[in-house]
Structure 1
């Protein structure tokens, strides 16, 4: 009798454990015991095809993860479509990903305009729009877009970080703002003024904008010089930043020049402008530059080089576009790991908005990622850097944006 009872108890325990194990596994469309389906659009063609390497690096990273056994035993299927950086194409391809391919989430859709085009659709469908490749403030706004979270530093956060630097190092500056007349430029101005606080009105002596269709920005630079500006706050993009740098040199004008991170790539901005006349420009960063000799023995950079050699050998190991893509893929995998066997969209958003001091392998020393249900900013710590005529040199402490999260 006792043995029968023991067998019955054992059988019940096994049944309960199986039921418990089964109950722990939760899936939404796009996830199963064997795979996780992720979708993205990439400008593989068109005027912005320079960013195609982001998608290529991310696809290579997923191949590496799958070779290592996947995420919690599940293979990652990354489905990529070309949108040529055209918002209507982004809409078409994103609908295809959601309604035909039935992905669990979208990942790293590239560009502000493409992300704007699908943000309402994805939020209405409650599909996570993870790590959007843009810094526009509308992509870190949990109140109005709870299913969207950007990877790039929020432009307003970056603006507030520059304000902290200016107040500490140039408290009596006469600031002239040169900006692109769109959400990018306006977000930077909002952040700068927020960070300067009561001093904004007296320190900012001029604001001059340009349109992306303008053939030149010479007149805007001349106008700011005429206003007595001694700190040139440059909220622009590579083509126009290069033009501004050239005009500053032509005028023999040498104000303190702060350049936003979007226009900081050496290859896209400083080389076309002229490395010699770009010396002394100040910007900011949050990741290790693989071309900087100070990181040659860094474990994270060495692992990145090994990854590139094996999985993307045709890629440029020194191109920061590829390190950016590597970092975004690494963070996505971290979030998927945290989800465990609960691969529901609700849990994905829970995990991505509860990161606690996660340290990316290519983050600058002392930096980490912390998010919250009311703070969707992934990268809000930065360090200032100055161009020495050949490369950027980091300096000063880590500056963290502690302003409004939305």
Structure 2
């Protein structure tokens, strides 16, 4: 009997200990609006229509990636509810959709919304509401301002850093160049232009003409003719995909063959180069941080194998040649990493704390050697790029991975 009593006492002690442990674990769970034991609600705003609709594929890829995560059991047992709205690339509409997501849909955070002026329209609102505006799909330098906007963080390299890399390349390769710049006349284009002038420094006079277009314009053909007439032998196209493709086509039509540099946001083979024409795109330059799905060199790469498997299973209609697809996958993978790091503390404050604590995280679709690092003082997750040249039907990388800190 004594032995039985001892066994019973020991088992009771175990049950009491388990109950106490479970009670502590339950007590440690913390939620803000948009999170629970079963669900994490994530908001997103994309230009599924309008002049930047080519980027809508990013939102579709992210939705498919979250479907994959849910099929695998979710994040720490919680399923993601991804709510994505169209803003047609219109800042007033972006604000309207952000209010709807925060106040009606009650999301935990807004993730990966696209555009510089559009995200600029909601930044003040998001910070006043203390709702994370995470991994903004825009390279504007202003997303890296944790002191004044602690609830907003970018993801991709800054436009200014990228432009400084181009300036450095031009000064080295064509020191007597005459540069013509076509740029989108908004925060996106002006950020690049600032970076370019910063990079050229005392050689700023190399720019012989800069021409800004509005996204409401149907075509920029006449602008390209004007840029050629300037006598420039370097053409920098700071444009979104629709206009980048137009500029490539028109340059060929008017027999203008300068050193042609296009911004990374328009370096998609499927979204820009293929529509413009492979034959007229040979030799075009850009810089990247994402692996190119059209490049067979990545076929044996473990990260890209996972990416291709994901496409086959969860997003079979996606164009693997479209850089926006690889972008959306990498951004969504980063978002999932942050939520996993949050554990059972799914408060908005902890989401931002974890987002500011990424250390050498390498999404499957980023180039080798490029890793994501953040800190409370650094809200610019990716700070490296590599130059590339279009050859045949894909981009060919050359030179070293360049850190933006070294590219001034």
For Structure 1 versus Structure 2, the TM-score category normalised by the shorter chain is 0.7 to 0.9
Asked if structure 2 preserves the Cα contact closer than 8 Å seen for 1:296 and 1:302, the reply is: yes
Asked if structure 1 preserves the Cα contact closer than 8 Å seen for 2:165 and 2:407, the reply is: no
Aligned position for 2:200: 196
User: What CA distance in whole angstroms lies between the structure 2 residues aligned with 1:365 and 1:22?
Assistant: 40
Moved more, 41-50 or 114-123: 41-50
* Structure 1 pair 228–330 and aligned structure 2 pair: CA distance change class (3 A): same
Q: Where does structure 2 lack aligned partners over 5 or more consecutive residues?
A: 1-5
Offset, 1:6: 9.6
User: What CA distance in whole angstroms lies between the structure 2 residues aligned with 1:213 and 1:82?
Assistant: 17
- Of the three residues 321, 329, 339, the one matched with 1:318 is 321
- Of the three residues 156, 160, 165, the one matched with 1:156 is 160
Asked if structure 2 preserves the Cα contact closer than 8 Å seen for 1:158 and 1:380, the reply is: no
2:385 is the alignment partner of 1:382: yes
User: What CA distance in whole angstroms lies between the structure 2 residues aligned with 1:80 and 1:222?
Assistant: 39
Moved more, 390-399 or 70-79: 70-79
Question: Aligned runs of 1:209-224 on 2, under 5 Å?
Answer: 209-214=212-217, 216-224=219-227
- Of the three residues 89, 94, 101, the one matched with 1:97 is 101
Please list the CA deviations of residues 340-364 of structure 1 after superposition, one character each: whole Å capped at 9, or x if unmatched.
2221111111111221111111111
Offset, 1:74: 2.0
* Structure 1 pair 25–270 and aligned structure 2 pair: CA distance change class (3 A): same
Moved more, 68-77 or 44-53: 44-53
Offset, 1:12: 8.4
Aligned position for 1:235: 238
TM-score, reference length from structure 2: 0.88
Question: Aligned runs of 1:358-397 on 2, under 5 Å?
Answer: 358-397=361-400
- Of the three residues 80, 83, 90, the one matched with 1:79 is 83
TM-score, reference length from structure 1: 0.88
* Structure 1 pair 372–202 and aligned structure 2 pair: CA distance change class (3 A): same
Aligned position for 2:290: 287
Aligned position for 1:21: 25
* Structure 1 pair 235–92 and aligned structure 2 pair: CA distance change class (3 A): closer
Aligned position for 2:344: 341
* Structure 1 pair 23–162 and aligned structure 2 pair: CA distance change class (3 A): farther
* Structure 1 pair 11–65 and aligned structure 2 pair: CA distance change class (3 A): closer
* Structure 1 pair 392–52 and aligned structure 2 pair: CA distance change class (3 A): same
Moved more, 28-37 or 215-224: 215-224
Offset, 1:280: 0.9
Aligned position for 1:327: 330
Offset, 1:376: 1.4
User: What CA distance in whole angstroms lies between the structure 1 residues aligned with 2:65 and 2:29?
Assistant: 26
Offset, 1:46: 5.0
Aligned position for 2:132: 128
2:208 is the alignment partner of 1:205: yes
Offset, 1:404: 11
User: What CA distance in whole angstroms lies between the structure 1 residues aligned with 2:347 and 2:218?
Assistant: 49
User: What CA distance in whole angstroms lies between the structure 2 residues aligned with 1:23 and 1:282?
Assistant: 55
Asked if structure 2 preserves the Cα contact closer than 8 Å seen for 1:25 and 1:341, the reply is: yes
Asked if structure 2 preserves the Cα contact closer than 8 Å seen for 1:280 and 1:389, the reply is: no
Asked if structure 2 preserves the Cα contact closer than 8 Å seen for 1:131 and 1:328, the reply is: yes
Offset, 1:218: 4.7
Aligned position for 2:67: 63
